[in-house]
Amino acid sequence: MLTDPRFTAEIDMTVPFHDVDAMGVVWHGHYLRYLEIAREALLSQFNYGYRQMEASGYLWPVVDARVKYRAPLTFEQRIRVQARVEEYENRLRIGYRIFDRQSGGKTTSGYTIQVAVEQQSRELCFVSPPVLLQRMGITE
């Protein structure tokens, strides 16, 4: 089911000057921003971006994140960031991979985990709300 291309999004970008340190290498914290841009593209495919999440009555905070740095990203490097839904039943786990566009080599991998919180009561949902499944086109 999750191998369906609808559950994957890719974005292309070029590493900007303001993201690198004096050695021309991307500061480790900026990688999370790149993952966020890909995550937004993925969620937009379902018409369930952050504005739609809020309008549906749920907040989806990131409660866990991991990044594994395999090779450094550098100034003006052209990269492709891929985001893919890995879990959705009880939480939203999105896996990420960053590739060098020229060589195709993987530079980075990671994941984020988001959980649904009912906006009005601020209570954690132990099962993903039906609106997520509807937006993803999943019928169970």
At residue 139, the 3 state secondary structure works out as coil
Mean pLDDT over each residue of the chain, to the nearest integer = 95
Question: Phi first, then psi: what are they for 24, rounded to 5°?
Answer: 80, 15
117 Cβ partners below 8 Å, 6+ apart? 58, 59, 60, 61, 123, 124, 125
> What is the per-residue pLDDT for 1?
53
> What is the per-residue pLDDT for 104?
97
**Do 41 and 80 touch, CB atoms closer than 8 A?**
no
Q: What is the pLDDT of residues 69-92, one digit of tens each?
A: 999 999 999 999 999 999 999 999
Handedness of CA 31, 37, 41, 43 (dihedral sign): positive
Cα-Cα-Cα-Cα torsion 16, 47, 116, 59, nearest 10 degrees, comes to: 70
Q: What is the CATH number of the domain that holds 14?
A: 3.10.129.10
The whole domain housing 55 covers 5-136
Q: What is the pLDDT of residues 85-135, one digit of tens each?
A: 999 999 999 999 999 999 999 999 999 999 999 999 999 999 999 999 999
Q: What is the CA radius of gyration of the chain?
A: 16
3-state helix, strand, coil in the chain (%, to 5): 25, 35, 40
Q: How many domains does the chain have?
A: 1
47: left (phi over 0), alpha (psi -120 to 50) or beta: left
